[in-house]
Chain A
Amino acid sequence: METNIFDSGVRDMAWCPGCGNFGIRNAIMKALTELGIEPRNLVMVSGIGQAAKMPHYLRCNTFNGLHGRALPPATGIKASNPGLTVIAESGDGDMYGEGGNHFMSTIRRNPDITNIVHDNMVYGLTKGQASPTSPRGFVTPVQVNGVILEPFNPLAVAVALDASFVARAFSGDMDKTVDILKKAITHKGYALVDILHPCVSFNKINTFAWFREHTYYLDDSHDFHDRNAAFTRATEKGRLPLGILYENPDKPTFEESLAVYQDSASPIIKRELNMEKLSELIDSKQ
């Protein structure tokens, strides 16, 4: 691959050979470049896990925080300086398991950020336990008799919460993934991109071939502004739909709804404390 402005040059990555993360990394770099985003104006926020190491292999501002906690700092960063492009990225265990409460609340809050979730249906870094999206019956060193929990359906949950942008991609399809990512990043408001990808070390069920066989791309017959249609697609059994499931372009974002940005678009970090007003406030306590 040719050199990209987002390529950090790191070649010793902690991912296994053949890991879907490599494809996702290439797609992210390509999408960002094509959108003309500058590394200095991009903040990648991640949690913990193999997917969450992504920002270290890119050239950009990075907040690599705690397991499950990428979305709250991403929200805080975007609100403090709305001029930045903010992407929160992690794996399925991080975003949907440990960070489940933040996932739901961030959708409700609707900050203008992109949420990329590497969904390989298994825990990689802790060596092969079930993730929230693991299918029933999936046998692991912990779930020795197979998973007995209903898999978490992130797309259905997101549509149910009226997320402003909901999409699914597959790491094996570079061009289509780039296209989805570009739409997600340029979308105004919270945008979820659940990216299916194989874990070559710990998931022998949901392999590259399995994903090819069990996915299909939505075509023009799907109206992604129709929430009910999106919910129907999100809950389909059998083959998983890829592409943009749902978009609600009319939702106000978190930042633009904040009182501090009603009369001024200047980021709060650029404002000075108004000492006169503080004096008045103290005086009012007389």
Chain B
Amino acid sequence: MISFPVKKDDITIVLCGAAGQGVQTVEQLLTHLFKQTGYNLFSTKEYMSRVRGGSNSTELRVSSHKVQAYLDTIDLLFPLSREALDHVRRRISPGTIIIGEKEKLAPGGDDIPGIVDIPLSGLSQKIGGAIYSNIIIVGVIAALFNIDRKAIEEYLRDRFGKKGEQVVAKNIEAVDAGYEFGDGLTSSGTVSIELTRDAGVEDDIIINGGEAVGLGAIAGGCNFMSSYPMTPSTPVLTFLAQHSKEFGIIVEQAEDEIAAINMTLGAWYAGARGLVTTSGGGFALMAEGLSLAGIIESPMVIHLAQRPGPATGLPTRTEQGDLEFALYAGHGEFPRVLFAPGTLEDAFHLTRKAFAVADKYQVPVFVLTDQYFIDSYYNIPQLDISDGKIDRHIVETDTGYKRYAFSDSGISPRGIPGLGKGLVVVDSDEHDEEGHITENHDMRIRMMDKRLKKLDAVVNEAVPPELIGKKDASTVVICWGSTFPIVREAVERLSRNDMAVLYFKQVYPLHPGTGSFFKHARKRVIVENNATSQFGRLLKLHADIDITTRILKYDGLPFSVEELEKRLLEVI
């Protein structure tokens, strides 16, 4: 008899199947069940650009300590088809336990050693059809990790209750069948898992990147959103739509991204706090609207969830390829701010801050994420919203109000139509202090200087990079945005005290103290999920930092911790 004892404090489960086989339902179910049971959890998914078929996979990393990054290693694999198995084959190691239906996975003979056979077809047919296979697997996993059966029932009732008692009953039946099978594996000693629980997890929340940005927007006072659906940015649109009524947020699906940003600029003009969410291709259409925000000095918040380009590229994959696009998009010269959260907490706080900065300085502010970030879940401590005050930088106007009145800071008090006696005039042409068209060249210079000057004030509020490790480390591994938790874990694994990680969460404008982090670092290794090291160039241009080594990845997938550990070893 085969036997797989798993004694680790960190176990990776991978479920894979075709789109439509319910892999995502399992992810949602298990994510919450693991967390409720007292395990730390990280999950992420990769999927093809299709609604049915193909091969998609979801990784669930269950751990006794906090985990926030993607691993290649698979401890437990649940393939729902042969194609799915082949799809993740490169990640299978001798230690991988494959649990699946032998007849389906290896119809021509047993070329997959060590497979634990589960009669999924038979079990699911008994219950009512193949659609129950995924829930049976939930039952198996629940048994292996000793998850309370009642908790599963409660969750299923919660989730499927609306569909009627029969649907709930069938799903419970499926879980029970899986549970029984899993119990059998444990009692026979075929698979035994020992994983310590973490009492600290109980009060944590578990969210994904899309929810972190969405919650940050609500906390930032967002009350208007207009966008056009585009993977991977859509979860933010969906999230705010779902909470639209509750929080008084107007959410409108625009006819295109041009309308989306222009509608949202109208909302800001009228006194709302607006957000657009998009990806590279959609943002390309927003470029003229971004430029409009620049000249009318409108606040604007843009969530740009990156995916590989050019053009349609790899629509459902991940990349950090639009940093320079966001930085340079829009005709003409005007200030802007770019945040790039690497953790869920940062996504929440920076999205919230994006509204504050946009409103205060009357500039467009970006929140740069990517597919990997948006689709990754993990548990984090409760988000702190105790400092809940929202400063609205809106003035009641008086007769003679001038929207673009000159000031020392370059910032003019912003009025809105209908509030006060004054009139609010904004114009995409160069304009005078009142906002009316001008072709006076001296006025042009004064207005350009006024707008650009705002960047000085923005710099003073810049978020500094975060250093993990010693200040005098001779090797600094630089990253920005979503790669941060992966870089941090890879560097931790190397456990070298001459190495530090420097994580940038505001990528433009850079904090004025950026240079000081590089004083002792002879080796400056940058890790980026793109092909040309865009942030490396930005560091050179804006902080005169020379990068010594670049570790780049642009196959459409995130770095894994193991892969990065190996690549770091090669260069240090």
Q: Out of A45, A104, A269, A281, name the residue touching B243 (CB < 8 Å).
A: A281
Q: Tell me if A56 counts as interface (CB < 8 A to partner B).
A: yes
**Cα-based distance from A73 to B263 in the complex (angstroms):** 4
Q: Tell me if A63 counts as interface (CB < 8 A to partner B).
A: yes
A interface list, Cβ under 8 A from B: 10, 39-41, 43, 45, 48, 53, 55-56, 59-66, 69, 71-77, 79-81, 83-84, 101-102, 104-105, 109, 258-260, 262-264, 268-269, 271-275, 277-279, 281-283, 285-286
- Given A84-B270, A101-B255, A101-B259, A76:B428 Cβ within 8 A: no
Contact B245 A262 (CB under 8 A): yes
Contact B417 A76 (CB under 8 A): no
Contact B250 A80 (CB under 8 A): yes
Q: Which of B18-26, B110-118, B216-224, B447-455 touches A?
A: B216-224
List 7 tightest A-B contacts by C-beta distance, closest first. Answer: A76-B266, A73-B266, A105-B255, A269-B271, A72-B262, A61-B417, A80-B270
Contact B249 A63 (CB under 8 A): no
Q: Tell me if B464 counts as interface (CB < 8 A to partner A).
A: no
Contact B429 A64 (CB under 8 A): yes
Contact A277 B247 (CB under 8 A): yes
Distance in angstroms from A205 CB to nearest chain B CB is 30
* Nearest CB in chain B to that of A45: its residue: B266
Q: Tell me if B404 counts as interface (CB < 8 A to partner A).
A: no
Q: Tell me if B426 counts as interface (CB < 8 A to partner A).
A: yes
Task: Collect the chain B residues with CB atoms within 8 Å of residue A105's CB.
Answer: 254-255, 259
Given A72-B254, A274-B247: 6 more A-B contacts, CB < 8 Å: A61-B425, A72-B259, A102-B258, A268-B224, A269-B270, A277-B247
Task: Collect the chain B residues with CB atoms within 8 Å of residue A268's CB.
Answer: 223-224, 248-250, 272
Interface of B is mostly: mixed
Most chain A CB neighbours (cut-off 10 Å) among B35, B221, B271: B271
Contact B417 A77 (CB under 8 A): yes
Distance in angstroms from B222 CB to nearest chain A CB is 9
Contact B265 A65 (CB under 8 A): yes
Interface residues on B, range: 35 or more
Distance in angstroms from A57 CB to nearest chain B CB is 9
Contact B437 A56 (CB under 8 A): yes
Q: Tell me if B424 counts as interface (CB < 8 A to partner A).
A: yes
- Given A74-B266, A76-B266, A260:B245 Cβ within 8 A: yes
- Please report which residues of chain B, range 291-348, place their CB below 8 angstroms from some CB of chain A when the two chains form the complex: 292, 296
Q: Which of B74-82, B145-153, B381-389 touches A?
A: B381-389
Q: Tell me if B483 counts as interface (CB < 8 A to partner A).
A: no
Contact B207 A66 (CB under 8 A): no
- Given A40-B418, A282-B385, A64:B272 Cβ within 8 A: no
Distance in angstroms from B413 CB to nearest chain A CB is 16
Q: Tell me if B280 counts as interface (CB < 8 A to partner A).
A: no
Q: Tell me if B498 counts as interface (CB < 8 A to partner A).
A: no
Distance in angstroms from A76 CB to nearest chain B CB is 3
Q: Which of B181-189, B198-206, B532-540 touches A?
A: B198-206
* Nearest CB in chain B to that of A44: its residue: B425
Task: Collect the chain B residues with CB atoms within 8 Å of residue A109's CB.
Answer: 252
* Nearest CB in chain B to that of A102: its residue: B259
Contact A83 B271 (CB under 8 A): no
Contact A281 B215 (CB under 8 A): yes
**Cα-based distance from A43 to B265 in the complex (angstroms):** 14
Contact A76 B262 (CB under 8 A): yes
**Cα-based distance from A273 to B272 in the complex (angstroms):** 12
Contact A39 B423 (CB under 8 A): yes
Task: Collect the chain B residues with CB atoms within 8 Å of residue A102's CB.
Answer: 255, 258-259
What are 27 A-B interface contacts by the 8 Å CB criterion? A41-B417, A56-B437, A62-B425, A62-B426, A64-B427, A72-B254, A72-B263, A73-B262, A73-B266, A76-B265, A77-B417, A79-B267, A80-B223, A81-B416, A105-B254, A260-B244, A260-B245, A260-B249, A269-B271, A278-B215, A278-B388, A282-B382, A282-B385, A283-B205, A285-B211, A286-B35, A286-B204
Contact B205 A278 (CB under 8 A): no
**Cα-based distance from A264 to B185 in the complex (angstroms):** 57
Distance in angstroms from A61 CB to nearest chain B CB is 4
**Cα-based distance from A84 to B224 in the complex (angstroms):** 17
Contact A40 B271 (CB under 8 A): no
Q: Out of A55, A59, A272, A286, name the residue touching B205 (CB < 8 Å).
A: A286
Task: Collect the chain B residues with CB atoms within 8 Å of residue A48's CB.
Answer: 428
